[in-house]
Amino acid sequence: MSPARQDYEIADDVPVLIVGGGPCGLLQAYLLAQLGVESLLCERYPTRLDAPKAHALSPRTLELCRQFGLDVNEIRRLGTGRQDAFWVNFVTHLNGQQVGRLPYERMDPGVLDDTPTMIHNIPQPDFEDYVRKQLVKNPLVEMRKNHSFVKLEDLGDSVIATIEDRAAQREYHVKCKHLVACDGAKSAVRRFLGVESEGEDSYETMMTIHINANLYPIVQDRVGMLHWVMDPEVSGFIIGYDLGGNQVLICNFDSQKYPVESWNESLCRKTVDAAIGTHIPYDVLSYRPWILSRKVAKSYRINRVLLAGDAAHSFPPTGGLGLNSGLGDVHNLAFKIAAIHHGHASPSLLDTYESERHPVALINAAQSVKNGQQIFRLLKTLGATDPDVHVARENLYRTLADPERAGAVHEGIEGQREHFDNLGLHIGYVYGDTRVPGCASVYQAKCVPGARIPHAWIEPSKPVVSGLMGPIDSSYVGELSMEEVERKRFSVLDLCAFDAFTLFVDGECAVAWRGVLEEATAMFPPGLRIDLVARGRDFDLQPGEAGEKWLELMQLVQGRAVLVRPDQHILTVFRGSPDDSMEVVEVLRKYLAW
């Protein structure tokens, strides 16, 4: 039987308890604070591991950071320069033969027609530090390190979590309205609630070896973000966070031959030396085994408990979709939790968290597995998968030396393109549409409910610009002229406030729509806002094809208007002339379930 609530001695009573202070937990706390919601964040460990883990922040992640006031210009300065990150190299070993080369994701100037913030590479700990710095002294966030989730009880209208203060070796109780579990792939919250996952729990053991070599003299002009090493002794890839002194080698290893307990620095050195192909000085900063898995929790919401990030899903790292999916989760959650806390929505709004984010995870998980399989296919083409390393190595070099196999090798490399271009998955997901995209790389802007509003570069009017984040600095794209950089400073996305709905209309109908919104707002719960943004009054599109395409998609003619949610996804398209405020009220009432 559940204890009565008075049986608990409540140490803290907070609106939101966040379990886990990894990137998703930290960002969740930040986003909620921006939305005026207080949270307590409990992190199990006193310090975090220094191994860099994820390296890529997707365009969508950067878009949502910018929306909430994080400075993407600064984030970009913190990570790997575009020049160094541009390529994926396929090599026998770093010092050896180049088997092929592909662009690493979309960093060409053309991608700026689809997103204002192209992908950026930054070591995960640096991103975490950046977000953490924004939380220090934030009165709406309290962070407790070395405090671990133990168990919870859901009392229906609140949750009581038991937290262990590990230094003091004592437990205490936190009462919260919502608990967001961002406690990683082995989530104690998920396990406590018995939430099952679909997918494979483990299918391969991997080793991450963190080193600090100066690889510039080795790679010379073959710089790149990723270096896939075909040598069968390694079979893995080097992530070049900083080719001058911060890299990770992620490799498969045969745990039958080398049980995890037998790994030591000398085995790491042997593997890294084989990957580099020559002896150069470096330190082995850490090495850590981990299990490749594809898991997606069957439920994301258990009444007042929400699973997010790796606690909800974990994928193989092939595709860089793991971290970004998690950051997308907490963005989706933030405005919904805030709407409930501010009395703008009923708790059932949170049902849409699972229905929207779960399909995204399933698709991203499947793509990550597919990417891994494609790489294995390439290794097979090269003959590098023979279980005998010596035979495999001979096969590899024989294949590469054989002119008759050159076509097959080239095809094998070309077959990896989708793996390294996930633009469609990064920004193209449409909430409510669970179809699996034919190709992860293809992004087609859409103006339909559930889609992220299409991007276009704009010139905001003077009164509007003062309320926006500072301009984007696109000058890191060296191919752009000064004029082009000047035109790529503000995006349509900048017009969507994180704490309001936004109605996009044409200037000609702005006055009529203003009247409709005034009437409608009088019927909203206090504080719920729709901002009206009119083309030709509040902003103009930058001249060019991309702007014309945006106009065609949005069709802001004859009173048509597009209502965008606080997370920049389209809620609805009003097709008629602006005369009925009840239509607006009903759309919001239905969505927010007030």
Residues engaged in binding ligand FAD (CB under 6 A): 19-25, 42-45, 48, 53-56, 124, 148-149, 182-184, 188, 208, 290, 309-310, 317, 320-324, 326
CA 150 distance to own-chain centroid: 28
CB-based burial label for 94 (10 Å; 0-12, 13-18, 19+): buried
Minimum CB distance to ligand FAD smaller for 20 or for 424 = 20
Minimum CB distance to ligand FAD smaller for 149 or for 431 = 149
For the chain, the first-to-last Cα distance in angstroms comes to: 33
Its sign, for the CA torsion 183, 187, 188, 191, is: positive
Alpha-carbon span 360 to 295, nearest angstrom: 13
- C-beta separation of 237 from 228 below 8 A: yes
- Residue 231: which residues within 8 A CB-CB, separation 6 or more? 92, 93, 96, 274, 275, 277, 384, 393, 396
Minimum CB distance to ligand FAD smaller for 20 or for 437 = 20
Tell the smallest beta-carbon distance from residue 324 to ligand FAD (Å): 5
Tell the smallest beta-carbon distance from residue 311 to ligand FAD (Å): 6
Tell the smallest beta-carbon distance from residue 584 to ligand FAD (Å): 37
**Cα→Cα distances 219→93, 225, 276, 513, Å:** 10, 12, 9, 59
Minimum CB distance to ligand FAD smaller for 143 or for 554 = 143
Minimum CB distance to ligand FAD smaller for 360 or for 382 = 360
CB-based burial label for 167 (10 Å; 0-12, 13-18, 19+): exposed
Token code pair at residue 381: 């083409």
Minimum CB distance to ligand FAD smaller for 22 or for 449 = 22
Q: What does DSSP say about strands 170-181 and 10-19: parallel, antiparallel, or unpaired?
A: parallel
Minimum CB distance to ligand FAD smaller for 290 or for 397 = 290
Q: Pick the closest to residue 158 from 179, 181, 137 (CA basis).
A: 179
Contacts 24+ apart (CB under 8 A), 378-381: 378/90, 378/412, 378/413, 378/415, 378/416, 379/230, 379/235, 381/408, 381/409, 381/411, 381/412
Q: Pick the closest to residue 56 from 110, 22, 114, 106 (CA basis).
A: 106
Q: Pick the closest to residue 110 from 418, 479, 454 (CA basis).
A: 479
Q: What are the percentages of helix, strand and coil residues in the chain, rounded to 5?
A: 35, 25, 40
Alpha-carbon span 128 to 22, nearest angstrom: 7
Alpha-carbon span 304 to 16, nearest angstrom: 10
Tell the smallest beta-carbon distance from residue 397 to ligand FAD (Å): 29
CA 527 distance to own-chain centroid: 30
Tell the smallest beta-carbon distance from residue 301 to ligand FAD (Å): 16
Tell the smallest beta-carbon distance from residue 250 to ligand FAD (Å): 6
Minimum CB distance to ligand FAD smaller for 369 or for 495 = 369
Minimum CB distance to ligand FAD smaller for 127 or for 574 = 127
Minimum CB distance to ligand FAD smaller for 325 or for 572 = 325
Tell the smallest beta-carbon distance from residue 42 to ligand FAD (Å): 5
Read out DSSP for 172-217? EEEEEEEEEE---TT-HHHHHHT--EES-S-SEEEEEEEE----HH
Q: Pick the closest to residue 566 from 9, 207, 30, 31 (CA basis).
A: 31
Tell the smallest beta-carbon distance from residue 179 to ligand FAD (Å): 11
Tell the smallest beta-carbon distance from residue 331 to ligand FAD (Å): 13
- Residue 522: which residues within 8 A CB-CB, separation 6 or more? none
Minimum CB distance to ligand FAD smaller for 11 or for 582 = 11
Minimum CB distance to ligand FAD smaller for 119 or for 340 = 119
* DSSP for residue 250: E
Tell the smallest beta-carbon distance from residue 378 to ligand FAD (Å): 19
Tell the smallest beta-carbon distance from residue 19 to ligand FAD (Å): 5
Tell the smallest beta-carbon distance from residue 150 to ligand FAD (Å): 7
Tell the smallest beta-carbon distance from residue 48 to ligand FAD (Å): 6
